[in-house]
Amino acid sequence: QGDADEGIDYIFKIVMIGDSGVGKSQLLNRFVKNEFHMKSKPTIGVEFLTRTVVMDHKLVKAQIWDTAGQESRPVDASGKSWPFNSSKGLAVDVFLLGCIVSAVALCCNRIGYQAITTAYYRGATGALLAYDITNQQSFDHVEKWLDELRIHADKNILVMLVGNKSDLNSVRAVPIEAARDFARQEGLFFVETSALDSTNVESAFLGLLSQVYGTVS
């Protein structure tokens, strides 16, 4: 690890947030590996990828965190993982035992969720908040994600709002002007991207990184 960071002047932690399915993992894939997968697997747990860029003659390592952990609340997760919901003729005591196990699991999930959320946002200097331009709901939820940042992240975190899937312009649901106005109002940087055809992916990440760089250099 020490060797890998040799010569690195800055390490910036960036978090990917936004609704599930908007393309966060593919944006990251495109930026770090220049790859894109149409059949993207849902992100499980938390992972980060890094890419080092030169900025102002300095080596800046971006450590970009991606997760699905904050997308499904523990309450939903426990509902889906209820183990006995389809079995018939279970004895009542087994049912009750199931209830207890579930309640305990739910509590652990809550605690686990809090721990993961806290760790996810800890030390992050930038956030890439993505929505899908063909999905109005994912844009409506942007405010919810900003609330999440206000609760868990550093108050000085810089946010790049990203309208992804710009290649699907023909089935667009969110007008670019609406997003631009919203971003201006909220003090966010904004760009529309396509992880599929690469449009503005570099601008989105590098734009955010250079803003972060500007605050520390």
Q: Which residues bind Mg ion (CB under 5 A)?
A: 24-25, 43
- CB of 134 closer than 8 Å to CB of 172: yes
Q: Which is nearer to ligand GDP, 23 or 69 (CB)?
A: 23
Q: Which is nearer to ligand GDP, 17 or 212 (CB)?
A: 17
Residue 164 contacts which entry, ligand GDP, Mg ion, none (Cβ below 5-8 A, type-dependent): ligand GDP
Shortest distance in whole angstroms from residue 21 CB to ligand GDP: 5
Q: Give the CA distances from residue 209 to residues 105, 109, 124, 148, 202, in Å, rounded to whole numbers and listed in that order.
A: 39, 33, 12, 21, 10
List interacting residues with ligand GDP (CB under 6 A): 20-26, 37-38, 40, 43, 164-165, 167-168, 194-196
Shortest distance in whole angstroms from residue 67 CB to ligand GDP: 9
Instruction: State residue 182 phi and psi, 5-degree precision.
Output: -60, -45
| Inter-residue long-range contacts of 1-8, CB under 8 Å, 24+ positions, other chains counted | 5/61, 7/59, 8/52, 8/59, 8/60, 8/61
The whole-angstrom separation of Cα 140 and Cα 31 is: 26
Q: Which is nearer to Mg ion, 55 or 162 (CB)?
A: 162
Q: Which is nearer to Mg ion, 72 or 203 (CB)?
A: 72
The whole-angstrom separation of Cα 28 and Cα 14 is: 11
Residue 165 contacts which entry, Mg ion, ligand GDP, none (Cβ below 5-8 A, type-dependent): ligand GDP
